[in-house]
Amino acid sequence: MSIIELNNVSFDYQSGEDLSRGVKNINLKIEKGKFIVLLGHNGSGKSTLAKLLNGFLIPDEGDVIVNGIHTKDTKRIYDIRAKVGMVFQNPDNQMVASIIEDDLAFGPENLGVPREEIQKRVDWALEAVNMNEYRYGTPYKLSGGQKQRIAIAAILAMLPEILILDESTAMLDPKGRAEVMETAKRLNRDNNMTVILITHYMDEAIDADEVIVLNDGEIAIQGTPKEVFRETEIIKEAGLELPVSTQVALLLQKAGHPVPLVLHDEELVEAVCRLK
Amino acid sequence: MNRDITFGQYYPADSFVHKMDPRVKLILVVAFIVAVFLVKSLFSYIAITIFVIVGILGSHVPIKSILKSVRGIIFVVLLTAILNVFFYSGGERVLVHWWKITITVESLLFALRMALRLIFLVLGTTLLTLTTTPMNLTDGMESLMAPLKLIRFPIHDVAIIMSIALRFIPILMEEVNKIMLAQKARGADFESGGLMKRARALLPVLIPLFVSAFRRADELALALDARCYNATPHRTKYKVLKLGWRDAAGAFYSALLIFAVVAINASFWGLFGFSLSV
Ligand SMILES: Nc1ncnc2c1ncn2[C@@H]1O[C@H](COP(=O)(O)OP(=O)(O)O)[C@@H](O)[C@H]1O
Ligand SMILES: [Mg+2]
């Protein structure tokens, strides 16, 4: 059974008379333990889709079913929220306490988790993002990547089954981005965490199990990275930019060289070395 | 610099006073303030001075940091003292009489007493903030306000508001700095001109600050929901405050002080300080 299921989901934002398209006709099944990357340009509906998954938004049409629970079921909304953890863009705006362990405890406290259990969860969550030594510190001196890892740990302390990172790498420097990506991949690999990573950087999608491209609120294409990256027209139309190595490979193909479609830089190097 | 703002005046040390429960410290400071208003005679002033000195010694905070706080109010103290000298009515032993102004021994002593009271108040509260982190103080206040739950006062929400405020003060301060630098780079001038001109120069700082604060608030609201804020009325608490022997000792010691002050005031010892009592 899929951990998340969306059947024909549509959602529009209504402000007064005006309607603005959020997402339209989304059909999606997300399997447990998968690493999913959701791609799309600004305003393509990525955040709207994410907010539909944890019940921040309720679909106008269609159903969102998480772990067998309907997001329309308002009585169980917090069961869903605790299961579908969401991390946002700016780590500074997600921390509520000035001491890191207090911040991590906030989620479990809200859920009424007993004290001893919170202690264990804080230990585990800090370990999971490799930030143990900062437990009693404040967030102010941390780098962007470290802060975002704390924000992830704060969500992990609620023991979610699905982790949604909504452009959580967008405002970080390359080092911070790499740290967050590495953390997300490790959680997926070692803890069997289902990860939905939202981004507009295509190079963050190359190791995904599945890539979904949104354009104007609709799914433009969906599949493995190789399947998706090959569709250059659709990618272009969706306002995205292929990773440099893929672009180079495509240019080489155009020039008549027998180079396969590559995603990683190393693959490109290998393919080019094999040319002669 | 950020650390300084987050921790306010907090002076990190591993002392007796630092280790006391913030709730006890809060109560003791209130009791101390009451005691300061009760003191009348020379001997009760001595008792309170001893109390403060013992408190400072027990906190391992260097005397310099403590005096810094007194320096901040020295102007207010002097001003009230001068006003008190001139406007004190009554008193027999006249020292100076000139035009409408009369300075008596009693008015001088009165002014001195008021000045000492102010200084004691500042010393007591400073000792609290020097030895307790703002986070601990908030926890302490939350715990002390617990009875208000009975009248459905949302203490928990108030505690979260305080915690978030503490968390965002340094962030917004930093933002103000950034915006000011950016405006200065565009030729803004915050230093010259009269009060009105300078106030107006701040407008281009305040507007972006507010815009950014609201944007932050938007994301923070989502983050609070994502962390299941308000999921259950049976919220648990990770940090629990625990009373220890230090708290008992501190409370006992303070009770002794208040007892001494009241007793001295009421006894003939109080009369003994004839020239100093009201
Ligand atoms: N709160 C809102 N009110 C009205 N329209 C909104 C709101 N949030 C998003 N939209 C609109 O919905 C569309 C999708 O936005 P969003 O899901 O935030 O895109 P993305 O996260 O991919 O940048 C955009 O056209 C945006 O203008
Ligand atoms: Mg978005």
* Facing residue for B236 by CB, picked from A97, A101, A118: A118
B239 touches chain A (CB under 8 A): yes
- Evaluate whether A106 touches B135 at the Cβ level (below 8 Å): no
Alpha helices per DSSP H over A42-157? 46-53, 77-83, 100-110, 115-128, 144-156
Q: Tell me, what's the pLDDT at B229? A: 93
B95 to chain A, closest Cα gap in Å: 57
pLDDT at position A32 is 96
The reported pTM is 0.86
**Token representation of residue B148:** 């208000």
Give, for all 278 residues of chain B, the pLDDT tens digit: 344 556 677 888 888 888 899 999 999 999 889 888 888 777 788 888 888 898 899 889 888 888 888 888 888 889 988 888 887 777 777 777 777 777 788 888 888 888 988 999 999 898 898 898 888 888 898 889 889 888 888 888 888 998 899 899 889 988 999 999 998 898 888 887 788 888 888 888 899 999 999 999 999 999 999 999 988 888 898 988 888 898 888 888 888 887 877 777 766 554 444 444 44
| pLDDT value of residue B5 | 58
pLDDT in tens, A120-153: 999 999 999 999 999 998 898 899 999 999 999 9
Between the two ends of chain A, the Cα-to-Cα distance in Å is 48
Give tens-digit pLDDT for B139-163.
898 889 889 888 888 888 888 998 8
CATH of region A2-242: 3.40.50.300
**Spatial distance between the Cα atoms of B52 and B35, rounded to a whole number of angstroms:** 12
Domain positions in chain B are 7-132+243-270
Residue B200: predicted pLDDT: 84
Chain A residues within 8 A of B3 when measuring between CB atoms: 138, 140-141
Question: Which phi and psi angles does A65 have, rounded to 5°?
Answer: -120, 120
What is the reported pLDDT for B276? Answer: 45
Question: What is the tens place of the pLDDT at every residue in B129-142?
Answer: 889 888 888 889 88
**Domain residue spans in chain A?**
2-242
Name the CA dihedral angle for B188, B191, B192, B194, rounded to a multiple of 10 degrees.
Answer: 110
Interchain contact B242–A (C-beta under 8 A): no
Q: Can you tell me the ipTM of this complex?
A: 0.91
Inter-residue long-range contacts of A255-259, CB under 8 Å, 24+ positions, other chains counted: none
How far is Cα A159 from Cα A153, in angstroms, rounded to an integer?
A: 10
User: Using DSSP, how many helices (H) and how many strands (E) does chain B show?
Assistant: 11, 2
Q: Which atom of ligand 1 is nearest to the CA of A214?
A: 22
Contacts of B228 in chain A (CB under 8 A): 78, 81-82, 107, 110-111, 158
